[in-house]
Every structure is written in structure tokens, then in C-alpha cells.
Structure 1
Amino acid sequence: MKKKWIALVLAGAMVMTAFTGCGNKKSDDSATKDDSAATEESSGESTEIVNKEATIEVPEEVTKGGELKIALTSSPKNLDPVKYTGTYEAQIIYQVCDTVVTYDKELKEILPSLATEWSISDDGMEYTFTIRDDVYFQPGEYQDGRLMTAEDVAYNMNRSAQESAMNRLDMLDHAEAIDETHVKATLKAPSAVFLTALTNAGNAIVPKEEVEGWGEEFGNHLVGTGPYAMEKFELDQQTTLKKNEKYFIGEPNLDTVIFKVITDANQEVNALRTGDVDIATQLTGETVKIVAEDETVNLEKMAGIQIGYAYFNMVNGPTADAKVREALIKAVDYKELAAGVYQYGEGEAACLPLPRASWGYDESVEADVPSYDPDGAKKLLEEAGYGDGITLNMYITNETFRQKAATILQSYWQAIGVELKINTVEWGTFSETAASGKADVFAMAWSWYPDPYFFFDKMFATSAIGTLGNGQGYSNPEVDQLLSDALIETDQAKRAEMYKKALKIITDDNPGIFYGNPAECLGINPKVQDFNQRADGTIKLCTAEENVWVVQ
């Protein structure tokens, strides 16, 4: 079945803005046979989106009080920092809790937070933090808002190292409180990313009494030191936060923050336009155009640090066979796939398991991705013993990007005799299924910091098997060694060379289809002031750099 048939599935998808970047190149035969069909039915006029700026009269003085409502596209599963697995939970955790150190809004510099300063031993094995003496926990069921001490910091570091669902502090051996305001963290080996890891919501500081008192229910009753205290968590509905008047940085401007779960993209943008929410997150598809052209709200967009991908099961089922994986990749035109997913400029085509924004990216490796060659894909399946076809189960969430990608892949793979069954599930079920290796294929996006560690070590290290990052069981001793060496190297240029070698090996193993670099797109009411969009998609409402408020 030729590409001409597949192009029908992409009808409407080719109202594209220009796409940059890599795509698996067509083989010579495929180019000769299919280019006319691609030109005739897959290409189209570029649709220019006019971003109309919405403005209102803003008073010179900050307006205190009021309510901010933020839409989340999927329901948070567990707000316990060591158990969270998705950005939906992180958005709430960052408002309720603080970390020992934090990134600036540009994600370029690590700044003090609960720690005022720190020192590193000459061998890079020990970090000593000076902890603030004026920070209090929000009152909870098992403590009344007591002073946070170095003991709390050590407790949370050790807890994360031992219990984190995402192995966020796997480099830590142990942490101990030297006195009430000093903590010493001892690593297993020198780590170039330890401080960066501490900025993550999964390493937020919470009171031991609340963790132990609530047990498995702590995630539903999160308590921290942050600018907003959690008043009520309603699974699949909304989370209500109230101002923490004792916040150490200063009084937050907002009285109330509500995170509302709106899983339907159209309903989310309608809620923004009618004022039911003030910020709509993770806009995709036509909603980007709708928000951009609405004169009452604004579209904010910036390049993201993430990759969109479909990950193959490396251990069980047909995709454990290297020939099957290569066949699935050869069956797909990456650029056309990305064009279908990002119809409104919400991302760009890609082909490697690392964002271009990362300093470990190597453009030369793009040539190693198997070329688009449907006939070659069929031959590989025959050689692997699947000439009569196979059936694969893919798991995705309800996000537009994932649904589009899954549908397009389903069409490409059907053309080579592969039936793809798409299972759309809520985030909790998806996370559990993907992490446990129960999916033939799962599709999602991975977003973190520019350091390659936060992609490679979480998605491809053998030690990450069983987590959401590497639920598909990728394991390569040579990659493991390169990642270990890069972690203890302090020279970034040398680390980059190690990561580039790992990138090539991983790409040659064909673990998945890494088709796009999504942008961060959100819609915002112009009444929202002092809000800073971040490249990792994180929302922060009250920090040393910003204190969001609303015009009333």
C-alpha cells in the first residue's frame, strides 16, 4: 500500500508552517515511487496564524488578592513528591513546596532556595548546604506549622534516594544533618548533575510527620513550605490552594489558586475564552490557532526542551526483535508524521532521542536513522518471521499530540502488515502500564533540563528499568558505561563527547520513533500579570523572580 493512501489520513494535517530539522530520508526507490503522491495530496498551502494581542488597562500598583484558575490537560495521580511521575503533579507541587535550590526562570543558573549557600569537597563527593532558619511548614494534620530544619532536608534527600519513582536522586549515598542549619550530602560518586537534580519537584521538602501520619494517602494531603497551601485535592476534578501568609520569600499576591482538570482540548480553550480558567496549558492543534486569533486572550509560545516519541518494548513481544524495530521505523516518514502532529507550528520534526536544545545533541547522528522505505520494512518483517503480519498494542494518554501521532503511525504500519491497537487511558494507568513494561509500544513526551543526563540516564540506563522513563527495558552495557563516565566528568565539553557517543549507540539500537520537538504553548488571560513562561513548561507563581497577580 503506497504512501498515497496514507496521505488521506493526514488530510488537513498539511496546513503546515515550515518544518525544520531532521527526518528519516527516503530510499531512492521510495522517493521515485511516492514523491508525486506526496506532492499531490500531502503538501499544502502554509497557514499563517495571526497572533492578535489582547490588552487591558493595568493599574500601576499590584492588586492583592483574587483567584487564579489554571487548566491541566490530565489529572494528577499522586502529589507525594517521591511518587509523582508527570508534569501535572509537578505544577501543583511547585506551588505547595520548595526545593533546596532552584533554577532561575531562564533555566540557566541554579539559585539559593531553602539553602542559602553550599560548598563542594575537592573530590566532588560531599556537598554541604547551609539551610535557612526562618522557614515554616504549612500547618497540617500531624504538625502545626513548625520550623523547618536541616533534619527535614536530610530526611527528604534520603527518602528520595530510596523511594523515588523516577530515581531522581540515584547519585546520593546518604544525607545527614550536621546541626539545625547544615546538611552534608555524600554521593556514591562525583555527580555533575546533583544540584540540578535537587531543583526538581520530586526532591521537594515535606514534613516527616505528615508523610508518616498519612501513609499512602499523603499525596492527597500534601504539605510543604511553599507560597500556597493545599486546601483540597479532588481526583480528576480540581485542586484548590490557599495563600501561605508566612511564606519566607514574601506574601503571595493571590489569595486562591485552582488547578482544574479539563482533558478535552476544545473544552479547555472554551474555558479560557469564557473566563472559566485564566491559563490554559499544553495547547495543541487547532486550539493554538483559536487562542492566537482571539482578541480577548493571548497565546504564549516558546521552544521547549522535550521530545515526542513512541518507545518500543525491548524485552517482550515482537519489538524485542531488532529487525521488527527497524521495520517499524522504515515504515514511517518522520517529517510527514511531525507535520501531521504539529499542524499549527506547535513543534518541529525530529528523529533523535534528545532535544536540539540539549548541548549533547549531534546533528551527524541524524543520518543513522533508518530511511523511509516501506518495501524494505516488509522484507525485514519477513526475515524476522512476521511475513503474515503482527498485532501491537500501543498505550497513550488523551493528549492531542499523542492521539494524532498514534493514528498516523497506525496508518503507516498497517501499510506493511502491522495492526496497531490504540489504548487511550488516563495518566495513572498509562504511567503504571508503561513503567511495568506491559506495552508493546507507548507514546509520550519527555521534558526536562538541557543536560543530556535527564534524558539518557532516565530513559536508557539499565538502572532506570522499571521506571516510566525506561519501562521498555532498554539496556546496553556500552551506553551504561558512557553515562557513568559522563556523570563524574566535570568538564562539559568532555561530557558532551561522551553523550554524543551514547546518542549514536542508542540510535543504532532503534529503540523507538523520536519524531518531534514540541513547543510550549499556553493561553493566558491578559489580566494575569508578572507571569513567566518557562522552556520546561513549569508554572511558578511566587518566587524571588516573580509574584503573579491578577487585575480585578
Structure 2
Amino acid sequence: MLHSRVNRTRRLALIGLAGALALSACASERGEDAGNANTLVFGAAGAPKNFDPVFNDDGESFRPIRQMYETLVAYKPGTAELEPGLATEWTPSDDGTTWTFKLREGVKFHDGTDFNAEAVCFNFDRWYNMPGAAAQSQMIYYGDVFEGFAENKGDASGDPVYKSCEAKDEHTAVLNLNEAKGAFPDAFGLTSLSMSSPEALKEHNADEVTQSGESFNYPAYANEHPTGTGPFKFESYDKSANTITLTRNDDYWGDKPKLEKIVFRVIPDENARKQDMISGQIDGYDLPNPADYQALRDSGAQVMVRPTFNILYLGINQKNTPELKDERVRKAIEYAINKEQLAKNQLPEGASARYQFVPEETDGYTDDVEKHEHDVDKAKQLLKEAGAEDLKLKFYVPTEVSRPYMPNPVDIAGAVSDNLDAAGINVEMVQRPWNGGFKDDIQKHGNHDIHLLGWTGDYGDAGNFVGTFFGREKAEFGFNDKEIFKALADADATVDDEGQKKAYEEAAVKISEYVPAVPLTSSPPAIVVGGDVQGLVPSPLTDERFVSVSKGQS
């Protein structure tokens, strides 16, 4: 049987299907510069970190990785609903501490070695036993899901979730956990948990990650020899030309790719990506500026708007400014912000205001949260009661980035600052490059008072939102509320769907009353491809796969 939470993803499935059907409409022909009909050239906003799935957490790295690798559980194209991946079935024990996977037969890694139960266990054991702080610190998704490594066993924080893996027979892998995890089975589909060839991992020293200051150096496997089971294989990464080239895997177990080659061309400037798209130098790129939608459509391109599954929030750090420890001050900040106006004036068409962190399409969403709708007088009153009428805050804002939930960070931050100023809160905006200080300042050092950030869901589980944000003490938010931590931990450990839904609803109410951060808006991001590109299905998880893509006359 397939153990899948269909209820919590049914609405995403429906809107995803609508998006896929919309793609059947044929856009106008592109010019003669469209290029080779067997090659897709995709414009990337930035260079990949590397190609080892477990060491990555960003979209520019995941996009090529998703074409080369596969996971045990997959997401149906255009939805967050589960479907078979490298496993055809997955069955939990009654207490949720054992998962049995029936594996697909006849699958081989790109190096010709067999995918089987021993390979599955090799991957899980590798992650769990990863040596060195440098390696572990880069395993963001694994660390969040499995809550520790072998070296953490028996420490004060409790044992990690992972216990052991057994290859029961060639096509049956049994995963043993120390405790149930409500994120499963959905989290088994995370790109970071993709299956790599054990032989390639060993041959190319995959675990030898070293650190030099703030930088990390990755071994040959991650940079030159990524080896998965996917429909495309790694050919090269030419850093001088800023191009990544993948070729068709003719031995792929599933439907063979229609394209012979995919080239990811790194084009950091957003306007340059748009111009290259219009002139036919590339066949597509992600997250076009909403202001460019019409120009792109006029050129014959298809602007595919994804289903909404993200959130933009104003983070609050309670560590540096004593006034922010006061719940009244945090509520005042939320009352001060006109979210409806922000969605209408600063975000793409279809954006909406948000008053909780769990998406409406996901179990755990509830109308019972405490709402703090725009009310400047109420904000001023709360600040006065808290003795914080002269509140001054450092507002950290990212630059050199466009995210699905945040297309123009500086403009959005300007609107939020104006709202706060109207309530008497003095804001000093601190602009920092996304990959040049902002993320470290926020997530490692906690230098800020408030900041602008957001999240696109990885799978259809409330814990992927509220658990990721508020499940434990983090530099980003600087609070240590045991009641919220326990509520989220209890929800995550609840096995039955209805019980978990109720537990996350209760946690959502607690979070809304505490206000560790301010949910702002959600907005539908887009991906754009040429008029002659067919078969790409936009995903609410930004989990697009190119195996079904072809090029030709429309």
C-alpha cells in the first residue's frame, strides 16, 4: 500500500492539475535562435553550490540535481501529493518507528551499478555517520528531519531519529527509527535525501568536506562525479563558461527523456536573463519579475504561474533589543503592517495577506489563530503600554536576490518600514547581499532586530513550515519558549493523520498568540519557457523535472 496523506494535499493537487492543463495551450513560435531542438538551455540565476544532494539547500543547486537523482518517494508532477519513486511501496509500523520500502527492480546508477536495498542502507548510514563538523554543518535538510547524527547519540538533546537500516532482501529496505516522525513519508521525497551510487561515493571521497574560515571545500564526488539514477547524467561543469551540461541517460528505468541534453547557463543579472529569453538565447528561466510577464508573453514565451505554496515573513530577533521580548511589542509590530496593501502593491497578481505560517492547503491550518489585522492605533497603544514608544530597530534586508515569495526585497522592505514608521517605530534598514552576508548575519550570528525572509514548502506537511521555523531555539528568532517547542515536537511525533492535524492546529494558535515572527504574504511564483517548449509541469514545490520536456514547433 501507499501510505500518503492525500487529504492535506488534495487542494494542491487540483490547482496543480489546472496549471498543467494550461500548458497545453500553444504559445507563438520562437525565432531562429531557439537553438538545437534536442537541447534545452535554461538560464540559472546563480552557480550551484555543488552536486551532492545532501550538502545542498538552495534552488540553483537543486534544479540540476533533480534531473540526475531520484528519491525513494516522489511528488506527483504539479502537486505535493506522493507517488512512487525508487520505492514502489512504503509501509510504516503501527507506532511509526519502522518503515518498510519495496524497491523498484531493474534500476541502475549512472555508473552501471545496481540500485538495491544495500544501496539504500548505504546512503542512510552514510548520512547518519557523516564525519566532521564541516560536513554535518552543511547537511541542513538531513539535520532538520533526523535531528542529529551518530555522534549526537546519547547527548542531552536525545537520540537522533535515525537508528539503523536493514537490507531484508535485494528489493526490501527496512528503516528503523528511535522515534516516530510525523513528517514521514512526505520527507522521504526531499531532494537532499536522493540516492547516490555507493561505489561512486567511495571512489571519489564523497565525505571529505573541509572548512577554511567561512568557506567549505567539497570533494571530487560533489563537484565532478555526481552519480544518481535519474533520467539525465552529469557531463561537465565549465566554470569559465558558467555552464552545467547534462546528457540523456539512455539506460533510464522509466520513460526515456525526450531531450538529448540540458545546459544550465548561469546568468546572474535578472534583466540579462529576460533579454536572453526574448532573443532566443535561452529556452527558459525561473522566477521572472512580475513586471516582465507581459513583455515575455508578447515575445511568444510561456509564463507558467505555479500554485502558491510559500510565505513571506518579518522575522523578529528577541536577543538584541529587550523591548522585543515583550509580547505586546511583537503584536504591535504586526498590527502596524498593512498586509493587504503589501500584497496588492508589492507582490505579483494573486498574492494574499497571511495571518499564520501554515498554508491553507495543508492540514494544520486553522481559522482559530489570533489575528492582528492592520490597526495603527492599536499598535501605538500596545507600544505605550509596554513603555516602547521610542523603539528603534535594525531591519536587515537581502539584496542581489529574487525569491518566489519575495521578488523585490528592498521595495517590500520599504513598504514595511513606512508602516512601522507610521506607528512610531524607528527603523534603520541594513541591506546585505543574500549570499554575501545576509544569511549568515540572520541565521548564524543573529545580528538583526527584524528581518525579511520567507519559505517555499518542500512537502505537504505543516511541520515543514512551523517546525522548521520555530521547533527549536535559533539565532534567527532568538527565543526559547518551551511550550511552543513541545507543542511542535508532539505534533511531529504524532503518527495518525487526524491527531497530527489537531496537534498542529493547536500549535498554530500558540504561535499566533506568541508572535515569534509576523506572517506577511503568500504569492504565486512563475517559471518561463519558450513557446516551443512542451511538457514542463510547474510545481508548487518548485520541483520541476525535465524528463517529460521536449522542444519543437507549437
TM-score, normalising length: structure 1: 0.78
Question: Per the alignment, do residues 411 and 360 of structure 1 end up closer, same or farther by CA in structure 2, a change over 3 Å counting?
Answer: same
**Does the CA-based 8 Å contact 1:72-1:263 persist in structure 2?**
yes
Moved more, 323-332 or 501-510: 323-332
Counterpart residue number, 1:54: 27
**Does the CA-based 8 Å contact 1:96-1:229 persist in structure 2?**
yes
Counterpart residue number, 1:301: 305
Separation in 2 of the partners of 1:262 and 1:309?
28
Aligned-pair CA distance for 1:197: 0.6
Of all paired residues, the percent bearing the same amino acid is 24
Question: Per the alignment, do residues 471 and 149 of structure 1 end up closer, same or farther by CA in structure 2, a change over 3 Å counting?
Answer: farther
Counterpart residue number, 2:451: 442
Counterpart residue number, 1:390: 392
Q: Which amino acid aligns with 2:88?
A: T
Counterpart residue number, 1:187: 177
Question: Per the alignment, do residues 283 and 354 of structure 1 end up closer, same or farther by CA in structure 2, a change over 3 Å counting?
Answer: farther
Gaps in structure 2 of 5+ consecutive residues: 1-24, 130-135, 148-160, 210-217
Q: Is 1:113 the counterpart of 2:85 in the alignment?
A: yes
Counterpart residue number, 2:498: 493
Counterpart residue number, 1:172: 162
Q: Is 1:424 the counterpart of 2:444 in the alignment?
A: no
Match of 1:201 among 154, 175, 191: 191
Kindly provide the CA deviation profile for residues 27-62 of structure 1, in whole angstroms up to 9, marking residues without a partner as x. Answer: xxxxxxxxxxxxxxxxxxxxxxxxx962349xxxxx
Aligned-pair CA distance for 1:240: 2.2
Q: Is 1:219 the counterpart of 2:222 in the alignment?
A: yes
Match of 1:240 among 229, 236, 245: 245
Match of 2:420 among 413, 428, 450: 413
Question: Per the alignment, do residues 261 and 234 of structure 1 end up closer, same or farther by CA in structure 2, a change over 3 Å counting?
Answer: same
Kindly provide the CA deviation profile for residues 433-492 of structure 1, in whole angstroms up to 9, marking residues without a partner as x. Answer: 433142423323212223212112211101xx45xxx74245432233333333343443
Counterpart residue number, 2:121: 154
Kindly provide the CA deviation profile for residues 84-140 of structure 1, in whole angstroms up to 9, marking residues without a partner as x. Answer: 12222222221111101212114354222222333333333211223344322224x
Separation in 1 of the partners of 2:222 and 2:480?
32
Counterpart residue number, 1:46: none
Question: Per the alignment, do residues 228 and 53 of structure 1 end up closer, same or farther by CA in structure 2, a change over 3 Å counting?
Answer: closer
Question: Per the alignment, do residues 408 and 74 of structure 1 end up closer, same or farther by CA in structure 2, a change over 3 Å counting?
Answer: farther
**Does the CA-based 8 Å contact 1:137-1:223 persist in structure 2?**
yes
Counterpart residue number, 2:109: 137
Separation in 2 of the partners of 1:428 and 1:181?
45
Q: Which amino acid aligns with 2:63?
A: Q
Separation in 2 of the partners of 1:232 and 1:384?
59
Aligned-pair CA distance for 1:540: 0.6
Counterpart residue number, 1:314: 318
**Does the CA-based 8 Å contact 1:129-1:184 persist in structure 2?**
yes
Q: Is 1:550 the counterpart of 2:554 in the alignment?
A: no
Q: Is 1:76 the counterpart of 2:87 in the alignment?
A: no
Aligned-pair CA distance for 1:505: 0.8
Q: Is 1:526 the counterpart of 2:531 in the alignment?
A: yes
Counterpart residue number, 2:66: 94
Question: Per the alignment, do residues 371 and 314 of structure 1 end up closer, same or farther by CA in structure 2, a change over 3 Å counting?
Answer: same
Aligned-pair CA distance for 1:220: 2.5
Question: Per the alignment, do residues 238 and 379 of structure 1 end up closer, same or farther by CA in structure 2, a change over 3 Å counting?
Answer: farther
Counterpart residue number, 1:25: none
1:303 match: secondary structure: coil
Aligned-pair CA distance for 1:421: 2.0
Q: Is 1:279 the counterpart of 2:284 in the alignment?
A: yes
**Does the CA-based 8 Å contact 1:131-1:150 persist in structure 2?**
yes
TM-score, normalising length: structure 2: 0.78
Question: Per the alignment, do residues 401 and 332 of structure 1 end up closer, same or farther by CA in structure 2, a change over 3 Å counting?
Answer: same
Moved more, 524-533 or 150-159: 150-159
Aligned-pair CA distance for 1:246: 1.9
Aligned-pair CA distance for 1:185: 0.3
Q: Which amino acid aligns with 2:465?
A: F
Separation in 2 of the partners of 1:494 and 1:357?
17
Question: Per the alignment, do residues 350 and 187 of structure 1 end up closer, same or farther by CA in structure 2, a change over 3 Å counting?
Answer: same
Q: Which amino acid aligns with 2:444?
A: S
